[in-house]
Amino acid sequence: MSTLNILSIQRLSDAERAQIEAVDDSISLTVAGGWFDGEIRETWPEFASNRYLPPTSNGEGTREERDKLLAGAEVILGGWPFPFDLRARATALKWFHQQPAGASNLLKSDLWGSDVAVTTSRGYGNTLGIGEYVLASIFHFAKSFNWAERDRAAGAFDHRSLNPLVVSGKTVCVIGAGGIGLDVGRICAAIGMRVIGTRRTVVNGAPLPEGYSELKRPEHLTAMLAEADFVAVCCQWTPETETLLNADAFNAMKPGAVLINVARGEIIDEDALVDALATGHLRGAALDVYVGEFDGPPDARLWNDPRVLITPHNSGATDIGNRRTIEIFCRNLRAYLDGGNLENRIDWDNWY
C-alpha cells in the first residue's frame, strides 16, 4: 500500500488529527500549523496578519524546510491565511482543501484557476451560529437597540426616536439559500417570520427548504426585495454577485428595511448603502463583512453611523467547537482514496 502524504498548514487538535489518520492506514499526516506565519506576516497586509495570527507566532523552520514540507505533500489541508505561492512550491500537490467556506478567499493565490483539485467547507461551517447572528441583528434593529446605545452614550433618552417593531409576521428575504441561508430561513421561520429567498439553482416542483414559503432564481430578486422587511445576504461572492446590492436594489427595497450581510463585503455597493442610509430609506444595516476587511478598518461613514452595526467577520464564532470542516475533509479523503468525486470542488468558472 502506497503512502498518502498529507500536510496540514492549519493547526489541528489531537482529536482532529486522530480523526484524519483513522480514515486509512496509508495516511502519513504532518501538522505544520503556524510554520508559515512568518511568511504570511511578510506577504499579507499587517491588518490581516494581526487579525488572524497569534500575536507571538512568527513561523517555524527554515525556508528550505518549509519548501520541503510543501513539495512532499500530495494533499494539503489549509486555513486562513496561507502562502500565496503555495501551488508553485507544492509540486506534487493534487488536492487542496480549504477549511473556510468562501472560495473567494483563494483569489489572490496561485491555486486560483490551477490544475489542482480545490475543495471548501461550504455548508459545513458554523451555519447555526451565523443564522443566530442574523436573527440577533434583526432584533437589534427591530427593537431599536442601536438608538438605546446612542442614548446611553448621550446620557439622556430620546423616547420618540425609538420605534420598536414586532418581528413575528415580518418578511425576510435570504439571498443565497445555501448552507448558511438554510439555517437562516429555518430559524427565522421558527419565530413566525415569513421567509422568501433566492438560489442559483431552483428545481420546479421540488420541496421547499424548511421554513421557506418561496424560493426563486436570482433574476427574481428585485421583486422579492420589495416584499422584504429584512434582507439577509448569504450568497457566494462571484462576478455575478459583486455589487449585487447597488443603488437600484436599495431603491427596490421596502422603506424601512434592514440589510444584514454575513457573506462578503464586495456583494454590497457601499457608496450606495451610505446613500440609502442618508436618505432614511433603510432602517439600518448589520455588516459582519465589509469591502477591504483584510486591509484595514471599515469605511468611517459606515462605522460611525449608529444605524450600522459592524462586527469583525466573526458571526460564525461560538462557544461550541465545530468539527464539521474536518468531517467533510475526512469524507472527501475517503472518496479521494477510492477514486471518487470530491464534494464542494470549486468550479473556477463559477467561483465556487
> Which tens digits make up the pLDDT trace of 29-65?
999 999 999 999 999 999 999 999 999 999 999 999 9
pLDDT tens-digit series, residues 235-253: 999 999 999 999 999 999 9
Residue where the block lists cell 505544520 = 32
Task: Provide the CATH number for the domain around residue 20.
Answer: 3.40.50.720
Domain membership flag for residue 36:
yes
178 lies in which domain range? 127-310
Please tell me whether residues 175 and 86 are part of one structural domain. Answer: no
pLDDT exceeds 70 at position 1: no
Active site residues: 264, 293, 313
Please tell me whether residues 15 and 111 are part of one structural domain. Answer: yes
Instruction: Give all strands of the β-sheet with 194-198 in edge-to-edge order.
Output: 212-216, 194-198, 171-175, 230-233, 257-261, 282-287, 308-310
Please tell me whether residues 89 and 49 are part of one structural domain. Answer: yes
Q: What is the mean pLDDT of the chain?
A: 95
Residue where the block lists cell 438554510 = 182
Domain membership flag for residue 345:
no
- Cβ-based neighbour number of residue 219 at 10 Å: 8
pLDDT tens-digit series, residues 286-314: 999 999 999 999 999 999 999 999 999 99
Please tell me whether residues 224 and 189 are part of one structural domain. Answer: yes
Domain membership flag for residue 132:
yes
pLDDT tens-digit series, residues 199-222: 999 988 899 999 999 999 999 999
Measured between alpha carbons, how far is residue 29 from residues 18, 59, 75, 98 in Å?
A: 10, 19, 9, 16
- 261, containing H or E segment: strand 257-261
Query: Is residue 34 within 8 Å of residue 9, measured between CB atoms?
Result: no
**Domains in the chain: how many in total?**
2
pLDDT tens-digit series, residues 114-170: 999 999 999 898 899 999 999 999 999 999 999 998 899 899 999 888 899 999 999
Domain membership flag for residue 37:
yes
Please tell me whether residues 115 and 145 are part of one structural domain. Answer: no
- 282, containing H or E segment: strand 282-287
Please tell me whether residues 118 and 180 are part of one structural domain. Answer: no
Identify which of 330, 315, 324, 339 has the alpha carbon closest to the alpha carbon of residue 8: 330
Please tell me whether residues 304 and 218 are part of one structural domain. Answer: yes
